Amino acid sequence: EATAAHLTITGKAHSSASQDFDSLLFGARKLVRNFTNSGKRKLPNRNTTIEVEPEIIDLNKTLSELGVTREQLVDIGILIGTDYNPDGFERIGPKTALKVIKEYGRLESVPQIQEKLDEIDYKQLREMFLNPKIADVEQITFGDINYTGIANYLTKERNFSLDRVETSLNRLKKALEKKSHTLEQWFK
């Protein structure tokens, strides 16, 4: 996620595609969510479903609408929980986190969390989001797609369902074949 965010910052990528809002904390200029998950989705811990459609979240627009800086957005993320401190702070959800960060400016100034704040390495978390370690990507080049390698990685190392991976890879193959066929029409 950090490297994908960096690619958007340097202009090598238009956006980062993830379900995870941590991409914005890493500084992704644009985040595409629900890229492959459109349709109905069951809400966790509820017996209801919602319609899910792809969406693009613009970091600068979001910061402007919320009236916070990226550093403050990172502090909000730390308060509500991220992949790196999943529990966040008890009794603090997104609305409360935004309110207290706007009121106090930063984590260190929020009175009601001081005791728990000392229990986590919030400075390291903040630094990780603001100045992450990233893979060195000089240039992005596209070659042949290694479908077997992708399937092995996603199923064996990331525990994705083989059926889901195969379905997605087949959709990708069909889309690429259609694109190639469409371009070939122009050169007949």
pLDDT of residue 159: 83
Q: What burial letters (b/e) apply to 98-130, b meaning 16+ CB within 10 Å?
A: bebbeebeebeebeebeeebeebebeebbebbe
Domain residue ranges of the chain, discontinuous segments joined by +: 2-130, 147-185
Gap between the Cα atoms of 9 and 6, Å rounded = 5
CATH class of 2-130: mainly alpha
Gap between the Cα atoms of 46 and 48, Å rounded = 6
- The residue behind tokens 């000089």 is 138
Report the predicted TM-score, pTM, of the whole model to 2 decimal places. 0.75
Q: Encode pLDDT of 74-111 as tens digits.
A: 999 999 999 888 889 999 999 999 999 999 999 999 99
pLDDT of residue 179: 65
Question: Is residue 16 scored above 70 in pLDDT?
Answer: yes
Query: If pLDDT is split at 50, 70 and 90, which confidence band does 188 have?
Result: low
pLDDT of residue 111: 94
Q: Encode pLDDT of 111-122 as tens digits.
A: 999 999 989 999
- The residue behind tokens 């910052």 is 9
